[in-house]
C-alpha cells in the first residue's frame, strides 16, 4: 500500500476553511484561460493569417501551444511537490499573462507562434496545479463535485471559444482574443496570492534533477512534435518523421537511465509500478484519444456528411461537453458507495455503449442521433476521468500528489496527440483534402465510419484498463496498491 492520504482534514494548507470559495473561483478562472485559448483561435485563424501573412504557418498557432503545454506538465508536477503548488501556479499564470500580452501585440506570424509557446508554458502549469490544489484543499467526498465544476468550466469554454473568436475577429480585432486574458489572469493570480496559503515544508528540499528534466522535456517534445506534424508538415515515411521518433526514443531512454540513478528524479518512474497509478495513467491515455478524436471529427461528420452548418455541428459536439461535467459532478456519490474501480468500470461500459451507437450513423442520420451518442459517451467519461484521477491522488501523500496528477494530465496530452495522428492517417487514407484543409469527397462517410470504429476500439481498451484498478473502499482506506 502507498502512503495514506487523509484528505483535507489533515493536509489543507489554508489558514481558514472559508477561503476555499474564492480559491475555487480563481481555479475556475485559471481553467477557463487555458480552455479558451485552445479553441478561441479556431474561428479567427483566417483573419490572423490575412493580417500577418504566412497562411501555411497557421497550424503552428495551435501545435506550438499544445506542444509547450504537454511537454512541461511532468516538470511542473515535480516542482510543485518540491517548492509548493502556489509558486508553480504563480509562475504558470505569469507565463500565460506575459504570453497573452505579447500575442496581442505580435507583428508577424513567427512572433505570434513563439508567443503562443510562452502561453503554452503557462498552461502546462495551470491545468495540473488547478487539479492538484483542488485535491489538496477538498475532502475526498467533495472532490468529485469540485472536479465537476472545473470540467464544466472547460466544457463551457470549449463551446464559447470559437464563438468569441469569431465575434472578436469580425467586430473588434483578433488581438482582443489575447487582451481579454489579462484581467482574468490578473484576478486569478491576486486571489490565489492572497487567499491560498501553504504550510512551509520542513527540512531540506530535495535537489532538482535538471539533467533528467532536460532529457524528459526534449524527448517528449520530439515525440509530441512527431505525432502532431507527421502526415502534415512531413510524410510519415520521411526522414524528418523517422528522425523525430528516433531522437525521442534516444532522449527518453537517456532520461530513464538518469531517472533510475537519481535519488530525486524529476519524474519518478517508480510511481508507474503502483497499480493504481499505472491504471489511471493508461486510462488517461485512452481518454485523450477519444475526446480529441470526437472533438475533431464529429463537426466534420455533421457538416461534411449530414450537410448542416457550423453552428449546428457545434451544438452536436456540445452534447459531449454537457454529459461529461454532469456525470463528473454526480460521480462522488457513486464512488463513495461502490469505490473508484467499479465507478470507472460502469463509466467505461457507458462509453463503450455510446461508441457502439456511433456505428449506426450514416448519410441518412439526423443530427440528434450523433448528439445522443456523444452525450452517452460524455456521461461515461465523467464516471471514468474523475474517479481514475482521484484514485491516483488518493493513493499518495501531499509530497507526491503533484507528480501523480501531472502524470495523468501528461498521458491525456499524449493521447490527444496520438489520436490526432492516428485518426488523421485513417481519414486521409480514404479521402481527399479540400482547399480549406478539411476532408471531402465520396469517401468521407466511409472515413467517418472508420473513425467511429477506432473510437469503439479505444473504448474497449479503456474498459480493460479500468479493470486493472485495485479494489478499493475510499471511505476507509487509500486506494493504493502496487
CATH assignment at residue 51 = 1.20.1250.20
321, 348: one domain? yes
Q: CA dihedral in degrees (300, 304, 309, 313; nearest 10)?
A: -30
pLDDT at 4: 41
Evaluate whether residue 4 is within a structural domain. Answer: no
347, 247: one domain? no
346, 305: one domain? yes
Taking the C-alpha atoms of residue 218 and residue 274, their distance in angstroms, rounded to an integer, is 26
254, 277: one domain? no
- Residue 439's DSSP bridge partners are 433
430, 351: one domain? yes
- Of 76, 140, 137, the C-alpha closest to 390 is 140
47, 165: one domain? yes
* Structural domains in the chain (count): 3
pLDDT at 157: 74
pLDDT at 441: 58
Evaluate whether residue 203 is within a structural domain. Answer: no
CB 373 within 8 A of CB 306: no
Evaluate whether residue 428 is within a structural domain. Answer: yes
213, 326: one domain? no
pLDDT at 354: 95
CB 20 within 8 A of CB 14: yes
User: Of 198, 224, 254, which marks where a domain is finished?
Assistant: 198
CB 404 within 8 A of CB 482: no
261, 287: one domain? no
Evaluate whether residue 48 is within a structural domain. Answer: yes
170, 221: one domain? no
Taking the C-alpha atoms of residue 454 and residue 292, their distance in angstroms, rounded to an integer, is 12
pLDDT at 11: 43
pLDDT at 31: 85
234, 281: one domain? no
What are the CA-CA distances from residue 477 to residues 142, 157, 388, 390 (Å)?
16, 36, 16, 13
User: Of 159, 179, 198, which marks where a domain is finished?
Assistant: 198
Which grid coordinates are listed for 162? 470559437
Evaluate whether residue 416 is within a structural domain. Answer: yes
User: Of 198, 227, 254, which marks where a domain is finished?
Assistant: 198
Residue ranges making up the domain that contains 237: 209-265
The single residue listed with the C-alpha cell 469527397 is 441
Taking the C-alpha atoms of residue 51 and residue 174, their distance in angstroms, rounded to an integer, is 10
Task: Supply the Cα-derived Rg of the chain in whole angstroms.
Answer: 21
Each residue's pLDDT expressed in tens, for the chain with a length of 482 residues: 344 444 444 444 444 344 788 888 898 888 888 888 877 776 676 677 778 876 666 667 777 887 888 888 888 888 887 788 888 999 999 999 999 999 999 888 889 989 998 998 998 889 888 888 887 888 777 776 787 777 778 767 766 776 677 777 777 788 888 898 999 999 999 998 988 887 766 556 667 788 888 898 888 888 878 877 777 677 778 888 899 999 999 999 998 898 888 877 777 777 788 888 899 999 999 998 898 788 778 877 887 788 877 667 767 777 887 788 788 878 878 888 888 899 999 999 999 999 999 998 888 888 889 989 999 999 999 899 888 888 888 887 767 777 788 788 888 888 877 777 778 778 777 776 555 555 555 678 888 889 899 999 999 999 999 998 887 765 554 444 33
pLDDT at 432: 67
323, 464: one domain? yes
153, 242: one domain? no
Evaluate whether residue 5 is within a structural domain. Answer: no
pLDDT at 18: 47
Evaluate whether residue 9 is within a structural domain. Answer: no
Amino acid at each position: 500500500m502507498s502512503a495514506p492520504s487523509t484528505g483535507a482534514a489533515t493536509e489543507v494548507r489554508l489558514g481558514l476553511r472559508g477561503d476555499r470559495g474564492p480559491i475555487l473561483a480563481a481555479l475556475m478562472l485559471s481553467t477557463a484561460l487555458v480552455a479558451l485559448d485552445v479553441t478561441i483561435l479556431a474561428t479567427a485563424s483566417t483573419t490572423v493569417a490575412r493580417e500577418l501573412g504566412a497562411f501555411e504557418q497557421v497550424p503552428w498557432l495551435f501545435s506550438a501551444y499544445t506542444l509547450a503545454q504537454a511537454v512541461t506538465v511532468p516538470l511542473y508536477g515535480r516542482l510543485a511537490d518540491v517548492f509548493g503548488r502556489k509558486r508553480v501556479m504563480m509562475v504558470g499564470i505569469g507565463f500565460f499573462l506575459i504570453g497573452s500580452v505579447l500575442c496581442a501585440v505580435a507583428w508577424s506570424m513567427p512572433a505570434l507562434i513563439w508567443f503562443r509557446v510562452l502561453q503554452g508554458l503557462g498552461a502546462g502549469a495551470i491545468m495540473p496545479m488547478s487539479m492538484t490544489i483542488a485535491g489538496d484543499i477538498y475532502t475526498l467526498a467533495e472532490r468529485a463535485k469540485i472536479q465537476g465544476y472545473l470540467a464544466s468550466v472547460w466544457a463551457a469554454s470549449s463551446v464559447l471559444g470559437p464563438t468569441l473568436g469569431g465575434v472578436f475577429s469580425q467586430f473588434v480585432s483578433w488581438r482582443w482574443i489575447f487582451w481579454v486574458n489579462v484581467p482574468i489572469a490578473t484576478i486569478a493570480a491576486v486571489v490565489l496570492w492572497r487567499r491560498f496559503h501553504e504550510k512551509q515544508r520542513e527540512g531540506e528540499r530535495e535537489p532538482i534533477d535538471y539533467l533528467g528534466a532536460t532529457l524528459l522535456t526534449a524527448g517528449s517534445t520530439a515525440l509530441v512534435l512527431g505525432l502532431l506534424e507527421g502526415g502534415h508538415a512531413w510524410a510519415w515515411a520521411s526522414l524528418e518523421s523517422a528522425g523525430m521518433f528516433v531522437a525521442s526514443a534516444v532522449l527518453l531512454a537517456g532520461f530513464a537511465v538518469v531517472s533510475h540513478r537519481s535519488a530525486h528524479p524529476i519524474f519518478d518512474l517508480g510511481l508507474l509500478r503502483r497499480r493504481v497509478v499505472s491504471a489511471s495513467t493508461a486510462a488517461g491515455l485512452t481518454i485523450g484519444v477519444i475526446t480529441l478524436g470526437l472533438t475533431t471529427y464529429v463537426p466534420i461528420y455533421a457538416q461534411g456528411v449530414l450537410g448542416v452548418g457550423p453552428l449546428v455541428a457545434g451544438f452536436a459536439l456540445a452534447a459531449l461537453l454537457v454529459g461529461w461535467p454532469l456525470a463528473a459532478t454526480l460521480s462522488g456519490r457513486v464512488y463513495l458507495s461502490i469505490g473508484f474501480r467499479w465507478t470507472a468500470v460502469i463509466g467505461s461500459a457507458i462509453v463503450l455503449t455510446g461508441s457502439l451507437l456511433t456505428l449506426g450513423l450514416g448519410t441518412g442520420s439526423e443530427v440528434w442521433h450523433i448528439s445522443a451518442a456523444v452525450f452517452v459517451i460524455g456521461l461515461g467519461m465523467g464516471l471514468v476521468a474523475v474517479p481514475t484521477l482521484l484514485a491516483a491522488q488518493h493513493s499518495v501523500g501531499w509530497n507526491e500528489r503533484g507528480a501523480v496528477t501531472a502524470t495523468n494530465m501528461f498521458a491525456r496530452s499524449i493521447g490527444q496527440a496520438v489520436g490526432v495522428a492516428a485518426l488523421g492517417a485513417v481519414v486521409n487514407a480514404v479521402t481527399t483534402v479540400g482547399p480549406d484543409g478539411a476532408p471531402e469527397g465520396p469517401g468521407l462517410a466511409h472515413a467517418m465510419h472508420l473513425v467511429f470504429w477506432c473510437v469503439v476500439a479505444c473504448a474497449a481498451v479503456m474498459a480493460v484498463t479500468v479493470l486493472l484498478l485495485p479494489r478499493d473502499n475510499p471511505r476507509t482506506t487509500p486506494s493504493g496498491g502496487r
